[in-house]
Amino acid sequence: MTHSDRILMGPGPCNPYPEVIEAFTRPVLGHLDPEFIPLLDEINDRLRAVWRTENLLTFPVSATGSAGMEAAFVNFVEPGDTVVIGVNGVFGTRMCDVAARCGAEVIAVEEEWGRAIDPQRLLDAHTDPKIIALVHAETSTGVRNDIAPLGAGKGDALLLVDCVTSLGGIPMLADDWQVDIAYSGTQKCLGVPPGLSPLTVSERALERLVERPQSWYLDLNMIRNYVTGEGARAYHHTAPISMLYGLHAGLGAVLDEGLENAWARHQACGDALHAGLPELGFELWAQEGHRLPELTTVTLPEGLDDAAGRRALLERYGIEVGGGLGPVAGKVWRIGCMGHTARLRNVAMLLGALGELVSDLRATN
């Protein structure tokens, strides 16, 4: 079975760094091999660098980003705990579902999709919640929610942040912002195919681990021995070694470039898209001042059909962009520029292709 080589400009996955694909071809090691432990340690060190944290418990969960979300809740929520969750898109909504399955009393603080959530509303939602949770970069809307004010004002609560689409793409300063629990995915701004979910947990949060969470696979009490080397390197589950090779290489690419340079590259691509798309009749949809550079949402020029337009991009140019979700399905496109995809040449390619599509449309009308 052969596959087309797409330029992946949807909401993720992105195109992986070439170093990542090369790393996939390395010989497989067992998860207890003496050569594997230093690799895992180095991955965790690199993750600390991109999270900007000193947290000991920082490692990739052996599953995709949504499992990271589940690990973040299931290890800290017990039945009856109050959890305040900001909801302005699909992933805030998913957080409520996951937390409720842990038995949480969820207080959802809702905001219109496409707009950012005022942090003060989350701080005011309850006097003493166990957790305050928010999505940093809403993949469904292209909106950045502000995290820093929550860390400053959280009081005794734990601050839990979804960084799936932010980590490596925009500043995310876990320690400075006093984030307690955060998770991400590999297939966005880290430039690695999907399959792992980086997770980081503060010392403060570690003291409040649920003793026996309902998930065995995601039980941090057991996993921490293996990944941190605090105790024995006790085997928990078989590590997905080839994916870990890929993550190691992707993080290496980001850190060799320099994290600030990677942020700047994502910003430059976002700026170019934000400038170029309106000239073609697309309108930027996310709230001004809270637009993600790595994920741009736009409404379509009059006459451009959602499905037909995306099909033409895919079939004629081999470029994938994403459609809208939920209330804006059919009305909004989500244009990602993340990881190795975040190059000005790809922005130029997309704007060129869209220009041709819009021009063809006008010619036939």
DSSP run (H or E) holding 354: helix 344-364
Residue with tokens 């001004």: 288
The size of the interface with a second copy (CB under 8 A), counted in residues, is: 62
| Calpha distance 238→185 (Å, rounded) | 19
Kindly state whether residue 66 participates in binding a second copy, applying the rule CB under 8 A: yes
Per the CB < 8 A criterion, the answer to whether 56 and 209 are in contact is no
**Is residue 232 within the footprint of a second copy (CB under 8 A)?**
no
* The one among 40, 47, 57, 63 contacting a second copy by CB under 8 A: 63
Is residue 314 within the footprint of a second copy (CB under 8 A)? yes
Q: How far is the CB of 63 from a second copy (least distance, A)?
A: 4
224 belongs to the binding site for a second copy (CB under 8 A): no
- 202 forms beta bridges with none
Is residue 194 within 8 A of residue 60, CB to CB? The reply is: no
Residue list 233-292, contact with a second copy (CB under 8 A): 237-243, 246, 248
State the Cα–Cα distance between residues 293 and 271, nearest whole angstrom: 7
Rule CB under 8 A: say whether 5 interacts with a second copy: yes
Q: Which stretch binds a second copy (CB under 8 A): 15-23, 147-155, 173-181, 343-351?
A: 15-23
**Binding segment toward a second copy, per CB under 8 A, in 58-66, 143-151, 203-211, 262-270:** 58-66
Nearer to a second copy, 232 or 363 (CB): 232
Output the CA torsion sign for 339, 340, 345, 351.
negative
Contacts of residues 276-285 at CB distance under 8 Å and 24 or more positions apart, as own/partner, are 276/347, 276/351, 277/335, 277/351, 277/354, 280/351, 280/354, 280/355, 280/358, 281/358, 282/333, 282/354, 285/114, 285/141, 285/142, 285/328, 285/332
Interaction with a second copy in 138-197: which residues (CB under 8 A)? 185, 187, 193-195
- Please, what is the minimum distance in Å from the beta carbon of residue 20 to a second copy? 9
Binding mask 98-127 for a second copy (x = CB under 8 A): x--xx-------------------------
Does 24 contact a second copy by CB under 8 A? yes
Which of 215, 221, 287, 299 binds a second copy (CB under 8 A)? It is 215
Which among 267, 242, 260, 359 is positioned nearest to 304, based on CA atoms? 359
Tell whether the torsion through CA atoms of 293, 114, 127 and 73 is positive or negative. negative
Closest to a second copy by CB, 225 vs 287, is 225
Tell me if 294 contacts a second copy by CB under 8 A.
no
Q: Does 319 bind a second copy (CB under 8 A)?
A: no
DSSP string for residues in 13-44: --PPPHHHHHHHTSPP--TT-TTHHHHHHHHH
Is 67 near a second copy (CB under 8 A)?
yes
CB of 244 to a second copy, least distance (A): 9
By CB under 8 A, is residue 362 in contact with a second copy?
A: no
Q: Residue 41 and residue 58: Cα distance in Å, rounded? A: 10
User: Is residue 240 reached through a cis peptide bond, with omega within 30 degrees of 0 on the bond before it?
Assistant: no
- What are the residues binding a second copy (CB under 8 A)? 1, 3-6, 8, 10, 12-13, 15-16, 21, 24-35, 38-39, 42, 62-67, 69-70, 94, 97-98, 101-102, 185, 187, 193-195, 212-217, 237-243, 246, 248, 314, 320
